[in-house]
Structure 1
């Protein structure tokens, strides 16, 4: 990469980061002022449209690891994980018609408040919310670190600079705005990432010989592995395991996780929530699938020359940044745009989750401390913002730890899977079984 191209990439990168900060500032001063906790947590002073909420919910699931991970998964392992989409599609109507009516009718702030009301046990509520806080902190630490690898490899930005920048900007967002700011950040970042993906796909189709050649090449090399109903448990992923596993994972994420439930409860009516979730089925199908298709076009271009085997990359998740650097040399600044998209992807996901983390910590823990009882609404809002900022600093520390350890990403994914099942089980037991005694829940 010559100096002029590198300079263009840096300029585009910095420009897009400044644009992201500008979105937060614009949201702060252009919209209704957030004077109360409800304004901050639920965007109560402004109306959020169905379309905006659909994109925000989709962005909440399709993070940086999806943008980097799905193309590399298809390139090196095939399309088996693509079929997790089926489980997600099944989960949306179930969440819409069974989970949402319960939360919406109760008007709860923390989703774990429902467990307290249902079992009359604050212990169950605290254990569930504590599990959510712990796994969210770990996962967000990994999320912040994920784009830093590509940023260091491609444009030479040190880990510490990337991590500190993401966290510092997220604190600015937390202090300036609540859910409304998070939703707008989600939408802007999703559109930028979608634009980058479409450009990469079109260029890949042209250099890869067209759509039919892309499909044929992936089929011939065994990358298209659909409808495998083999019951052999030693197979890494089959259609059945993909559907069942993702169904329960999606129910846990979309039905029992604070950042999504908070969005449902912020909408003006339950009918709007229904439209949002059902409308998300085609939206998620398209957004989910184009990341996999991007992997197909990348594979077509490198079918006979694996960059990892040739030593051009050291990790499979570097395949997308390498492809952009290799194939878009003729378009100065595009690599910077993709890198900024990764940076902002981690940023918007962090901002969205910090809002929810701070809300849960306040509602389920801090508000019960003697000095905090009886605080005025405006003072509660200040405390929530402080909690969000402290969580951001803690996540920064976790990201630095992740940078110096191996196997943390896999461990965080295992912990997410291990905790999602029990949490979902508690909510299913609460909603569908007449159990009042909380001891079985703890077991």
Structure 2
């Protein structure tokens, strides 16, 4: 079986090279990112404490934190995959922006207040406070697995892009960008991560705008591009069907998209760690509200890039002509062939794509180090300087591991595809676990454990079923009518999934179409249950909803069967504010508060880990 991940597209030699100006532009981005890390390593507290390394001493301003939230999730996969989505399937995906508002409101007012008031460093510490140590460890390990695989893919995607543009070997790209990322993240901690995210976000915006502006000039204005897209059937916002197997409908994009992004912005360590770096809860909420319009802007820019590419290639499709092998290579192909005559622009575009990777990987490295120190190694006794050193070593180790896995990705074949498809099913169960604790006072340890295991089981079942029974995808019409060197016309691009056939199967990361497409051989039988086939055909946007719902239903049922929390009522500080208020109105039992004792005063705890215990409210001083 041939693995198309190993075969980057071949572009015209005359355009497939960088000029000196391109290399200078690209190098400037890497040098500035490294300089920011070096600056924060030499200023402030010099990253000598875990609190500074992980949460910036809780002094970060909400505007840069808002930009960092955007950069953490707008990876190269989104920058390459979203224009390809628009080119192939039209503008329906644009409506996912409706979920951004819902995600912002829900995360800001139902999730952030609890995590911030508990003064956590790792969000998975909440799972131990609410349930037990085992639930915390499950959440932390699931996050670690998810982020390692995701970061590896995020690194590999732009390596393919730069290989296509310049011919530079993939391993050189991975080492160059990966080592720069490891350097500034390890030295500068979360401060360097956040400020490089701000810089890299600006680079992403600039690169996308350059494509749109130059395309508008070429067609005499963006209005002409829009009109051509209307004629080509790309402008469509009217899919109102409630069938969950419809890939992109208003319901799947808005509702399914809400829960998909909520798992990222509501309870994922990458996001929560940024909220906790703000000096106040109000600033943490403001950061999320800053992120919301930025998400819409970058989504709009990437969709507009897709329309520009359709206007250029709709009647001379490089996919149909064999110039490229995957739709995710369309944007670099466009830049090289149509904008390569402008010195520095290919370098700027490549820098923009790599900026998406740098921001995501650097955020992931810092968060993985925090989770490992806080959740996986909580019983190790470290002095504060030693803990800070261990944190840097962990961040560096995770960065190098992801660089290695990214380089090996091209050799992994089907193993990589299985890992990528499973990634989309981790966020839902974890979202369900946190939601169970925040919204259901009756939920107990047994319910949480059974619920999350059942949810992971169902998610894995769907992932495997989807992998073995891929759903046919039919793209909107494109032709070869105006190709000067071809006289063959094909009117529709169809991704065929017939039985016993080598097919093209597109994999998805949470919320975005992956930048990878691969070939695999599948065999189906007529006896396959139509019900199961339909189940496997459910849109990827509903995966988080399914995973969360399973946790909630199973968790609540098991908790009620096992008598809930009758013997030890849940502390109100562990419930979302609205539930805590309702509970206080309906039950006036003796209150409890949480006290976090100094780590160095407790046995088997490390700096930043925290040790909490329940005490009657009258017997302690509030020190949160």
TM-score (norm 1): 0.94
Aligned to 1:314: 325
Aligned to 1:425: 432
CA-to-aligned-CA distance 1:341-368 (integer Å, 9 cap, x gap): 2223212211111000000000001232
Partner secondary structure for residue 43 of structure 1: helix
Report the alpha carbon displacement of residue 436 of structure 1 after superposing the two structures with TM. 4.6
Q: After superposing the two structures, state which structure 1 stretch, 202-211 or 255-264, moved more.
A: 202-211
CA-to-aligned-CA distance 1:223-280 (integer Å, 9 cap, x gap): 1221311123442211111112211111111011001101111111111122222232
- Is it true that 1:332 corresponds to 2:343 in the alignment? yes
- Report matched runs for 1:133-282 at 5 Å: 133-282=144-293
Report the alpha carbon displacement of residue 418 of structure 1 after superposing the two structures with TM. 1.2
Structure 2 gap segments, 5+ residues each: 1-13, 451-624
Aligned to 1:435: 442
Q: Which has the larger share of helix?
A: 1
Distance of 2:102 and 2:253 partners within structure 1: 12
Aligned to 1:28: 41
CA-to-aligned-CA distance 1:7-59 (integer Å, 9 cap, x gap): 332333233322322222233335553221111111117x3222211111111
Q: After superposing the two structures, state which structure 1 stretch, 209-218 or 352-361, moved more.
A: 209-218
Report the alpha carbon displacement of residue 312 of structure 1 after superposing the two structures with TM. 2.0
- Among 403, 409, 412, the residue aligned to 1:402: 409
Q: Does the CA contact (< 8 Å) of 2:18 and 2:347 recur in 1?
A: no
With over 3 angstroms needed to count, the CA separation of the structure-2 counterparts of 1:278 and 1:347, relative to structure 1, is: closer
- Among 377, 384, 389, the residue aligned to 2:384: 377
- Is it true that 1:296 corresponds to 2:307 in the alignment? yes
Distance of 2:367 and 2:44 partners within structure 1: 21
Q: After superposing the two structures, state which structure 1 stretch, 65-74 or 80-89, moved more.
A: 80-89
- Is it true that 1:52 corresponds to 2:64 in the alignment? yes
The structure, 1 or 2, with the larger RCO (C-alpha pairs under 8 Å, 6+ apart) is 1
- Among 93, 110, 113, the residue aligned to 2:125: 113
Cα RMSD of the aligned pairs, angstroms, is 1.9
Q: Does the CA contact (< 8 Å) of 2:16 and 2:165 recur in 1?
A: no
- Report matched runs for 1:348-367 at 5 Å: 348-367=359-378
Q: After superposing the two structures, state which structure 1 stretch, 425-434 or 20-29, moved more.
A: 20-29
Distance of 2:126 and 2:227 partners within structure 1: 51
With over 3 angstroms needed to count, the CA separation of the structure-2 counterparts of 1:236 and 1:306, relative to structure 1, is: same
Distance of 2:31 and 2:47 partners within structure 1: 23
- Is it true that 1:84 corresponds to 2:88 in the alignment? no
- Among 17, 21, 24, the residue aligned to 1:8: 21
Q: Does the CA contact (< 8 Å) of 1:40 and 1:177 recur in 2?
A: yes
Report the alpha carbon displacement of residue 4 of structure 1 after superposing the two structures with TM. 8.6
Q: Which has the larger share of strand?
A: 2
Aligned to 2:423: 416
Q: Does the CA contact (< 8 Å) of 1:429 and 1:435 recur in 2?
A: no
Decide which structure has the larger Cα Rg and report it.
2
Q: After superposing the two structures, state which structure 1 stretch, 260-269 or 163-172, moved more.
A: 163-172
Report the alpha carbon displacement of residue 430 of structure 1 after superposing the two structures with TM. 0.1
Distance of 2:173 and 2:412 partners within structure 1: 17
Distance of 1:5 and 1:348 partners within structure 2: 24
Distance of 1:89 and 1:439 partners within structure 2: 34
Aligned to 2:393: 386
Q: After superposing the two structures, state which structure 1 stretch, 416-425 or 23-32, moved more.
A: 23-32
Distance of 1:4 and 1:138 partners within structure 2: 31
Distance of 2:421 and 2:17 partners within structure 1: 43
Report the alpha carbon displacement of residue 408 of structure 1 after superposing the two structures with TM. 6.1
Aligned to 2:478: none
With over 3 angstroms needed to count, the CA separation of the structure-2 counterparts of 1:167 and 1:228, relative to structure 1, is: same
With over 3 angstroms needed to count, the CA separation of the structure-2 counterparts of 1:176 and 1:230, relative to structure 1, is: same
- Among 20, 38, 42, the residue aligned to 2:51: 38
Distance of 1:217 and 1:295 partners within structure 2: 12
Report the alpha carbon displacement of residue 435 of structure 1 after superposing the two structures with TM. 3.0
Distance of 1:391 and 1:405 partners within structure 2: 19
Q: After superposing the two structures, state which structure 1 stretch, 401-410 or 107-116, moved more.
A: 401-410
Partner secondary structure for residue 301 of structure 2: helix
Distance of 1:257 and 1:150 partners within structure 2: 28
Q: After superposing the two structures, state which structure 1 stretch, 89-98 or 164-173, moved more.
A: 164-173
Distance of 1:65 and 1:198 partners within structure 2: 18
Q: Does the CA contact (< 8 Å) of 1:99 and 1:255 recur in 2?
A: yes
